[in-house]
Structure 1
């Protein structure tokens, strides 16, 4: 017959503390246990979940009070965190479905006490495991999973896992970048984690007047850049990478504002990236890209043509006008002939906006003498699709010939046969007496029914 070793007596004391609904007492009890006592309590805990729930409910009924019935949960979590062996087992225990509740624990101190008694490597392992369990769900929004994971990562110095929800959880808390050990790891991930832009879409550099004491993320990032903790250029590069990945104006609003806060020095190295943003990026992003291009120095004819082609076919009139201004400025800044800008001018002549085409014609006439025959030919080819009045303005400057009138054919329209409408019966007179009309219609309806169905039908 199999015999079980006698119990050490550890479980009754822990069970009494759980029944009292006192997490601090449970922490005191499990911290006083030896290895054998912890194993004993660990064996008893899973089967005690239903008992603990019912004991708290019975206590409330006996007292004649109503509570949310969750007072047993935190003592059970503290007990498991103090006695279960592996970090994986504790991570699973803390957030098992039986412990789902409607509000966070009022005091996380007892739980942190029993975790802090474990070896440092064990605590770091638990911190990473808890971070990887984050999903950003509604349940996790009301439990302590996010603050506990972040708190343990800070206390243990563990490197946060490459997991988007941990970054979202981090930016969902007020920033303290000067003192936060996670900033070194998570600031670079702001540009990679999906959901950061949406979480910070309402963030501004300065807090609103009604909450002037609150710190904003843009303000905090500006402060640490000014203090020299983070260099502005890598952050600006991160913003540009985030723009190139695409997204809605809402998702990119925070990064556009951060780019403005950083005020990166325009550079030729990022010219290609900013050009790629012009055709389809949201309006505010395209505007900041254009400002950077203007400040980066003289653009090549190919780059101007690419920028103008992108801007002229955007729906925003402001950006269309900016494209034409860019074209005019490039023409004035270019020495010698303007053949490199012929492609850009031709693209502008194809714009759907009549106003833009009219302004382009003025630019073409203004700079007509600076094109070689090859460049002028490129302009003439594009001008062939212009309306007649705009084409006429270019004809003299570019030697365009008026289009040959189309040859008239010998079709002579003949007279159409007369149309005689069909005769229509006159409308019946209006009904003035509704009573007589009802009697007449009712009598007619009765006769119709009799004729249809017959006697007895």
Structure 2
């Protein structure tokens, strides 16, 4: 056994098999115990040495296991599977004397684990071959098989036909059905080159069906089931291509009517569109009952996709012409469309309802007439012509704007009441990712660490040692921990590691000195302030000097009540404790300065340096950085065409900030960037991830400055960047004025490329409006500038405006859309999306009344052009709404 372990430590793979042959069952069991200890020991070695020895450990351990289950677990362990050169040929050697049933059991168990590489696939395949059993199937095995097949297409520089490779596989009839049951199809399978679709997997599979090598019904059922279940767009496209390639017969389509109906109702647009086509064919063939048609039509007409709704209404028109007796069941479906947000759909449904009325019962007529009250005002006259006296005149209720209640500040609450409670909160904070970071939870935990490090240090250390044993820094060497923390910053881990003695005093001192706050961009500057706070708190873990932190927020936004900060300073004075410089500076940035004259007097009466500085800060009541009220148009790089080696640039409207001498003179160095003058022209940002919930909490009372500094990131949302408007709702809750910077950032967000980014901007818009801080004229002016500049596209703005209006904020939306329209209407060629903007404005005017500014310049001329284009129709609609209200 000793000789075997020496060979393993030295990585002598060829010596392992003969040495194992000398050991009996007891010897192998004893050797396995030693190998397990060596495996654990090797985890702390350098990468090269660990990899070489791990291979030998894997091979020897496989040979020492006498049970199939234990051997499979050993071979499939996560820490034993990262190989540059596979050790599996030696594994097969040491298992060469095992019985076929034993090998088959190992193969099945390994296949059931995650098979992620070609080497693992070949190991299972060879074990199954030696055992004489069928290849065991699992998701990992089938996924790897598909990747192997695709890789074989490109051997020796020439592409082989995929259908030939699949045709030659004897296990095709079991592998393909399992492939289609995977939660997600492998990318090599789902991807289809539009230039050569004949060489894709869908084309190959349908070709094999034609040759009789695959079961047609099973393939059709599998793909239909995936379409019904939903999934990634690429997976659904794959299934659609297969279904279309199979060209199902009328009988096959009719047998799956329920599936097509469900897809048309709830499937993604491409899937719903295909199902709609199939159902239309079945209906034309008489394979769809009127009741089924009514059921699926009700679901499709409820959808928002105009193309699907229009197609379904056209089909219903054909049905009514073909079979007038169907009107009784179809009229209620058409009446439901009267409440559809698309006014064109309303108009089409009204015309079809007029065609259906003569063939229906009086009860059905009355029901449809009641639904006509949902029609947009521009269709009311047409509805009266259709329904006559059945249409009741209802007095119009006075319009009332619906806005969400203003968000109320949520207090942080009392500090943790015990070491156990604090330990739970600290653990929760450390387990969160940066994107999930909760500012109130972070601040409570940080303040709690400072409090209990002073009063219950030993109990706190014991509790955290046990709770955080799984953290990476709990088992690494001190040098490795200090090196990583000095460069990467693991958030609160710096403070906890210092408390538990994992970081030296020298490293904490160096960390405090290194974080100067002189970043190139606001992201690094704001992060630098947080890092400086953490290193300062880490230093206090040894001293136990501070009773609590001054900068702990009062509310969830990060703001501190001025009176509460005065009380905290009074507590410091009673204990004779000096404030931490960084902690006190952060507290000043967070304190509410409005209506704080009484707090300023109380601070002056403390007779301490900190009290005097607080009083001076409150009385000045000036922003940390004043925003210059003018645009800076600057060219910025928004993309690069690597094929042509050209840079794509765009012009953006950004803002600058003035210098604040008070911050640079009296605040610690990490805060000096905030007090400097900044222009987008002289800033360079190389941050990979430009987001942190801590940024807004750093300056909760200076939303304008934050918005000005973060404008380049927010502006990127109108191009390819995703997720850069996340902070807009938080900015809407900040204190201080909401002027040019916040409104310009909001304008960029409303025109963002991605729908989820526009949704964040809509949330911010409603919060500002609810708090009475939204200047709709200013917002409209900013949007007009960005549209003229080409940064914001009218169709994206229309989508965001429609979303906001549908919450009930019709008057608010109309008031910021009106300043946008004149310049667009004056263009010789109408920009894409202008008709959508007019439609939203018309909807708002019909509900809330005309704009306060009166007629919209250029609207009458556009409405007078004539024709039936959407632009003219919506211009007439908006002009009619304005004229009707004023008349």
TM-score range, shorter chain: 0.5 to 0.7
Contact 2:128–2:136 (CA under 8 A) maintained in structure 1:
yes
Alignment of 1:48-447 (within 5 A): 48=35, 67-96=48-77, 100=80, 102-106=82-86, 108-134=88-114, 141=116, 145=120, 148-149=123-124, 152-153=127-128, 156-158=132-134, 160=136, 164-174=139-149, 177-180=166-169, 183-194=172-183, 196-197=184-185, 199-200=186-187, 203-206=190-193, 217-247=201-231, 249=233, 252-266=236-250, 267-296=253-282, 297-298=285-286, 299-334=288-323, 336=325, 338-366=327-355, 368-371=357-360, 373=362, 376-387=365-376, 389-396=378-385, 399-400=388-389, 403=392
CA 1:132 to 1:292, structure 2 compared with 1: closer, same or farther past 3 Å? same
Bigger radius of gyration: 1
CA 1:364 to 1:145, structure 2 compared with 1: closer, same or farther past 3 Å? same
CA 1:391 to 1:154, structure 2 compared with 1: closer, same or farther past 3 Å? farther
Q: Deviations over 1:375-396 (max 9, x none)?
A: 5445434334334553433545
Compute the displacement of 1:350 (Å).
3.3
Decide which moves more: 283-292 or 265-274.
Answer: 265-274
How far apart in 2 are the matches of 1:374 and 1:398? 13
Contact 1:105–1:144 (CA under 8 A) maintained in structure 2:
no
Contact 1:38–1:84 (CA under 8 A) maintained in structure 2:
no
CA 1:344 to 1:152, structure 2 compared with 1: closer, same or farther past 3 Å? farther
- Tell me, which stretches of 5 or more residues in structure 1 are unaligned? 1-10, 61-65, 135-139, 408-451
Contact 2:146–2:189 (CA under 8 A) maintained in structure 1:
no
Compute the displacement of 1:356 (Å).
0.3
Contact 2:32–2:61 (CA under 8 A) maintained in structure 1:
yes
CA 1:101 to 1:274, structure 2 compared with 1: closer, same or farther past 3 Å? closer
**Higher RCO (CA < 8 A, seq sep 6+):** 1
TM-score when normalising by structure 1: 0.67
Compute the displacement of 1:229 (Å).
2.1
SS at match of 2:248: coil
Contact 2:290–2:326 (CA under 8 A) maintained in structure 1:
no
Q: Deviations over 1:236-284 (max 9, x none)?
A: 2223323333445466444344433434334222111211222322112
Compute the displacement of 1:328 (Å).
1.4
How far apart in 2 are the matches of 1:53 and 1:300? 68
Compute the displacement of 1:29 (Å).
5.7
TM-score when normalising by structure 2: 0.37
How far apart in 2 are the matches of 1:54 and 1:382? 76
CA 1:253 to 1:374, structure 2 compared with 1: closer, same or farther past 3 Å? same
How far apart in 2 are the matches of 1:153 and 1:19? 31
CA 1:21 to 1:178, structure 2 compared with 1: closer, same or farther past 3 Å? farther
Partner of 2:725: none
SS at match of 1:75: helix
How far apart in 1 are the matches of 2:367 and 2:121? 62
How far apart in 2 are the matches of 1:305 and 1:313? 12
Partner of 1:432: none
Q: Deviations over 1:39-76 (max 9, x none)?
A: 53453243156679999x99x9xxxxx94542233233
SS at match of 2:66: coil
Partner of 2:16: 26
How far apart in 2 are the matches of 1:343 and 1:404? 21
Q: Deviations over 1:183-231 (max 9, x none)?
A: 444433344443x24x43872345877xx99x75434433432332222
SS at match of 1:77: helix
- 1:47 aligns with one of 31, 34, 50: 34
Contact 1:327–1:344 (CA under 8 A) maintained in structure 2:
no
CA 1:127 to 1:208, structure 2 compared with 1: closer, same or farther past 3 Å? farther
SS at match of 2:375: coil
SS at match of 1:85: coil
Compute the displacement of 1:322 (Å).
1.5
Compute the displacement of 1:344 (Å).
2.5
- Tell me, which stretches of 5 or more residues in structure 2 are unaligned? 151-164, 397-603, 606-887
Contact 2:357–2:365 (CA under 8 A) maintained in structure 1:
yes
SS at match of 1:70: helix
Decide which moves more: 224-233 or 363-372.
Answer: 363-372
Decide which moves more: 318-327 or 343-352.
Answer: 343-352
Compute the displacement of 1:19 (Å).
5.7
SS at match of 1:21: coil
Contact 1:103–1:143 (CA under 8 A) maintained in structure 2:
no
Contact 2:220–2:243 (CA under 8 A) maintained in structure 1:
yes
Partner of 1:412: none
